[in-house]
Amino acid sequence: MFQCLRVLVCIVCFACGVRAQKAHIKQMETLEDFIAHSKITDWEVVQQKDGVVVSYRDLEFNDTIITRELCVKFKTQSTVEKVYELVVNPNKITDWNDAIKSMKTLKQTDSYWIAHSIYNIPFPLTKQDLVAKYWLERTPESLIIHVKAVPDYIPEVKGLAREAYNLSQWTFTPQQSGFIDVEFTGITLSDSKIPRFIKDPIIQRKLLHSFLTLKNLL
């Protein structure tokens, strides 16, 4: 009996710890903040074609939450302004991003904007949407677009699972050769019950095709 009680206490404590960590994650503003509090593994390349590389690595946040960070990157001969326009303009993002059914800007200020995206996700994956805050950071080397989910900004849409935890960023780094390094990295925390061996090939196929299209538009 005492053994059962100890197990029950451990389960309750673990659940409380996870809830506390998720509350902590909500307070984080950038993906870089999350990574700074995590143990990380090496990148593993899972797909690559025509210079577009898709990779994952594991992150363990504060010894409690384990998730994967996605990275998609390529090099192109273009301008930061052109790639920026294709990535953030709601009227152009569907020209290349297979995963986005629609995107609408909900708020625009001088320092940030908020957009609502509805994903184009095939069966058997759950239909989802994302409400996120976007803002820019300029460093001496790069232009960075930070993205953070703000799920409570508007009411949930019937039939769509709202992403609660999403931290990602786009990084555009011009090189002296005239090329630009384009990189997207991000994490999501979801309770998907679909095994990775089913959903990973679907997601990776869409990612690779989307970023190949983006590269060809530049």
Tens digits of residue pLDDT in 148-200: 999 999 999 999 999 999 999 999 999 988 899 999 999 988 766 666 767 77
Contact 207, 215 (CB under 8 A): no
Contact 74, 182 (CB under 8 A): yes
Sign of torsion, CA 189 192 196 201? Answer: negative
- 27 HSE (CA, 13 A, CB side): 7
The pLDDT score that the predictor gives to residue 191 is 67
CA pair distance 210, 189, nearest whole angstrom: 22
Among residues 211, 218, 217, 195, the alpha carbon closest in space to that of 49 is found at 211
- Strand, coil or helix: 145: strand
CA pair distance 164, 1, nearest whole angstrom: 38
Beta strands in 52-139 (DSSP E): 52-61, 65-76, 100-108, 113-119, 128-138
pLDDT digits (tens, 9 = 90+) for 65-112: 889 999 999 999 999 999 999 999 999 999 999 999 999 999 999 999
Superfamily of domain 29-217: START domain (3.30.530.20)
What is the pTM (predicted TM-score) of this model? 0.86
Q: Is residue 25 pLDDT above 60, yes or no?
A: yes
Report residue 7's pLDDT band, with 50, 70 and 90 as the boundaries: very low
CB atoms within 10 A of CB 11: 10
Contact 61, 25 (CB under 8 A): yes
Domain boundaries, the chain: 29-217
